[in-house]
Chains A and B, each alone.
Chain A
């Protein structure tokens, strides 16, 4: 139950941010955003390995996103 409440709170916190920038970048302007250096977690195995090592050395965890982010270039 607490997890559900937590998820709802997180969603509520992020939702207001979603309205910004509908026209921030036009489709024709996304050349640089499509480059792999601009993709968050473009190497999932590296991200997974880094998180794994940190979880064995640090008390903190999480916070690096649920994936799914992209440039909307397709």
Chain B
């Protein structure tokens, strides 16, 4: 469940991504593993996520392609039990595993392609079933590409059966509670103990890619998503007055974003500059945006080095409060949450990626590949949690309401990948 937000938020994106990979005209295989390590306070260590992925695609003749992908998350480390003024003292440890598989089929003509895919994701307390489709077409002149994508995800979340208790009395799920499944892919209720709650996610995207000149192209994208159903973290508790009920958040969330990306090739330098900006808004009151700059540089014929830097900032959800105010003034309405993703936050990351490119020429690489690439990527992430309410009237401050630490360096990401076209 601690992974469920990623699954929920990305269920649509994952399907869309699988349904419309970058246009590759031949059989391909790619495997990678990412390591995410975040520091956390409370003396229980940090948080570690290992994220392996594998994608395979084959062309069946000229017009049909098949794709299969697999991804997993192995998560272990520290988490807090209760969102309160001092969440650090309640730190505990957990571990979880999520697995996800996608199958896709694509049909492509000279200037168009259409893809369909199905995704199944499973973890102890979260199940995801998604169907998606996408279509793209190159307009006459082949300088403009329009792509549309849509997916629907039927998800289920394991939750404590609280019967007729009010939200202010509801108990949270614990790791000891059973989350039974039928055939491993459907939730099975255990009345009086645990229930599986539904969450449906509809995601639509439209993308326009435009060649602006022989050295510059632009991509503009619009994204819309409607989430309907259970979206709380069933484990998370919030100190409200003297009680610590399970968090309670709205069942409907409509979100949208617009983004623009620009690439500029620099022939004299044998490199390229990249610019990316995005605006985001939703019905929970979260407004965010990010800007990313990048630069790619070839070193000789076989090495490609890329640097990138990104900053992001968001406002808080309307019902989010700093822990002190939930504890002393209660909630501002029906809802209450201790989710950092719904708090005002600013973060930045800086990283680099080195790619070794080997072209087969007349003789295939390793006897199989026309092109083989090895990627090594490293990122550092910085985080600043901002106050949602008045700090002047908050004698306890906000430094301990999350367990994510207060140092400038928040997390590191390392990724190693191998991809081949054959």
Contacts and interface: CB of A to CB of B under 8 A. Distances in A.
Do they bind each other?
yes
Interface of A: 2-3, 6-7, 9-11, 13-14, 17-18, 20-25, 27, 29-33, 35-49, 51-74
Interface stretch (B12-20, B122-130, B237-245): B12-20
A22 to B, nearest CB: 4
Contacts of A29: 214
Pick from B13, B113, B347, B419 the residue with the most CB of A within 10 Å. B13
A59 B341 contact: yes
B307 to A, nearest CB: 12
B143 A45 contact: no
B126 to A, nearest CB: 13
B336 to A, nearest CB: 16
Per DSSP, are chain A's interface residues mostly helix, strand or loop, or mixed? loop
B280 A60 contact: yes
11 contacts: A32-B265, A37-B265, A38-B217, A40-B22, A60-B314, A62-B12, A64-B221, A66-B20, A66-B205, A69-B209, A70-B23
**SS of B interface (majority):** strand
B20 A49 contact: no
B10 interface: yes
Given A11-B206, A45-B55, A68 B341 contact: no
Given A22-B139, A38-B272, A66 B148 contact: yes
Given A40-B219, A66-B147, A60 B288 contact: yes
A33 B213 CA distance: 9
Contacts of A40: 22, 209, 217, 219, 261, 263
A60 B359 CA distance: 39
B102 to A, nearest CB: 10
B208 A17 contact: yes
B89 interface: no
B162 interface: no
A67 B149 contact: yes
Nearest to B3: A56
Contact of A20 (B144, B255, B259, B345): B144
Contact of A62 (B36, B257, B341): B257
Contacts of A71: 211, 217
B14 A2 contact: no
A-B pairs, top 9 by smallest CB distance, nearest first, are A72-B142, A69-B209, A68-B136, A68-B147, A67-B20, A63-B257, A62-B223, A3-B202, A66-B149
B147 A69 contact: yes
B222 A68 contact: no
A22 B419 contact: no
A16 to B, nearest CB: 10
A46 B10 contact: no
B146 interface: yes
Given A6-B226, A43-B375, A61-B225, A24 B145 contact: no
